[in-house]
Amino acid sequence: MVVTGVGRGAGDRLPGPGTPRNMASVPLVESSETCDRKGGEPQQNGWGPRSGPGGRRPSVIELNLVGVRLEMPSQQPIVLLKERDGERFLPIWIGQPEANAIAFGQQGIVTQRPMTHDLLKLLLDEFNVSVDRIVITELKEGTFYATIRLLSNGTAHEISSRPSDAIALAVRVRVPIFASEEVLDEASITVHDEEEETEVEKFREFLESVNPEDFQG
């Protein structure tokens, strides 16, 4: 069973064509549209494709969540993922509420009342539904798409989602994050020299010092 939904909120996108592809110099593209995209023309919904050509599902690669940071001076949040057994990084520009949710989940912070993704986890637990994995499935016209794979009574269900929401849930239920090979081929960056390695180290140092409250708008 596959359920799709409309993505809301800015984020989950790449910069526009011709933008430098390293973590230090990538300028950010603001968007007021209700979609997950990079630069370019606004897209009006977040319906995501569920398989490759001819119905073939693409091969997937497991990723590790490096963390979330604020890009200055625009203060646009970025979630950074890294290939588990490789050198490629996948940066995704997301909205501030989603960045906040990922940071809280990654650091294990419990709020007085459940946030949206905490509530989703509680609902899944109540109805004995488990999350198997999340997959960033496609990058189409600058918009990232993802699916959340659920298991219920021996039956698998796939729910269309923005990657940011899927990641925020994944860090709470401790399940692996994957991306299709096609997404990594198109959107990943590779640390290949000393300068970029320094930028990654700066990123990690930032994550160690940041507070989740910094992501609140």
Identity at 181, one-letter amino acid code = E
Identity at 38, one-letter amino acid code = K
Q: What is the mean pLDDT of the chain?
A: 75
Instruction: Please indicate whether residue 203 or residue 45 has the higher confidence score (pLDDT).
Output: 203
56-194, CATH topology level? Bifunctional nuclease domain (3.10.690)
For 140-153, the pLDDT digits (tens) are 999 999 999 999 99
Q: Cβ contacts of residue 157 below 8 Å, gap of 6+?
A: 1, 2, 3, 149, 150, 151
215 has a pLDDT exceeding 70: no
Ranges 5-19, 24-38, 93-107: which has the least confidence:
24-38
Query: What is residue 37's predicted lDDT score, i.e. its pLDDT?
Result: 42
Chain-centroid distance, C-alpha 205 = 21
| DSSP codes, 154-166 | TEEEEEEE-HHHH
- Could you give the CA distance from residue 56 to residue 10 in angstroms, rounded to a whole number? 30
pTM attached to this predicted model: 0.69
Ranges 2-6, 55-59, 179-183: which has the least confidence:
2-6
5 has a pLDDT exceeding 80: no
**Residue 89 in contact with residue 83, Cβ under 8 Å?**
yes
